Amino acid sequence: MTVIVLTNCPAGLRGFLTRWLLEISAGVFIGNPSARIRDALWDEVRQYAGQGRALLAHTTNNEQGFTFRTHDHTWHPIDHEGAALIHRPAPSNPTPTEKPSKGWSKASKRRRYGGS
């Protein structure tokens, strides 16, 4: 099973993928192509994605039963003791001189702004 998710990619790329996969939702493609076809499709996606982002997930023979690849995502796959995980960058925290907006609980303000 292969799943490709496109975000902000050219319509022509989406049309190209519909030759091999079924588009079940806007930008979400699913199918069962061979490994050779899957790799060729991924090469095309990476080449023609433009400013867009892409994610490929497919079944494989490992403990998780699947693996994935990303293109131009801020989230990146990493290997942790044989398991594929997603590394998400930490959100940029506001500067400590910024005042929290009104309406937040005291606990939320402490958690977000590091105050006591």
Return the structure tokens found at 78: 């990493």
Average pLDDT of the chain is: 86
pLDDT in tens, 37-70: 999 999 999 999 989 999 999 999 988 999 889 9
Q: How far is CA 85 from CA 14, 24, 72, in A?
A: 27, 25, 17
CB 4 within 8 A of CB 54: yes
Extents of the domains making up the chain? 2-87
Write phi, then psi, for 6 (nearest 5 degrees).
-110, 140
Pick one of 3.90.228.20, 3.10.310.30, 3.30.390.30, 3.30.70.240 as the CATH number of 2-87: 3.30.70.240
Q: How confident is the model at residue 105 (pLDDT cuts 50, 70, 90)?
A: confident
Q: CA-to-CA distance for 75 and 88, rounded, in angstroms?
A: 5
Which is more confident, 47 or 100? 47
DSSP string, 11-52: HHHHHHHTTTSEEEETTEEEE---HHHHHHHHHHHHHH-TT-
Q: CA-to-CA distance for 19 and 31, rounded, in angstroms?
A: 11
Question: What pLDDT, on the 0 to 100 scale, is given for residue 94?
Answer: 55
Q: CA-to-CA distance for 29 and 109, rounded, in angstroms?
A: 41
pTM over 0.85: no
